[in-house]
Amino acid sequence: MDNTIKKPKIGLWLAGWLVVILLGVDFYNWGEPPRLILGLPDWVWFDLGLILLTSLIFGLLSQHQWEDE
């Protein structure tokens, strides 16, 4: 197995996960009253988007990093 090919990919995956973690901190909404979107607070929709983004990143990670040799 050639590890030199996978090293740049690891940095890309770590950057993606770091973005998800940073987006998980709702810093731009601190001190603001929650707005309702379709009857739900806006943070619910934001968390739903983060869950979908996390699922997408993990799906791509599992397809590309754990390929059969």
> pTM of the entire structure?
0.64
Cβ atoms 27, 64 nearer than 8 A:
no
Q: Where are the domains of the chain?
A: 12-64
pLDDT at 43 over 80: yes
Q: Does pLDDT of 27 surpass 70? A: yes
Span 6-26, pLDDT tens digits: 555 777 778 888 888 888 887
Residues 6+ apart with CB under 8 A from 54: 20
For the segment 22-39, the average pLDDT, to the nearest whole number, is 83
For residue 52, pLDDT over 70 is answered with: yes
**Confidence at residue 6, expressed as pLDDT on a 0 to 100 scale:** 52
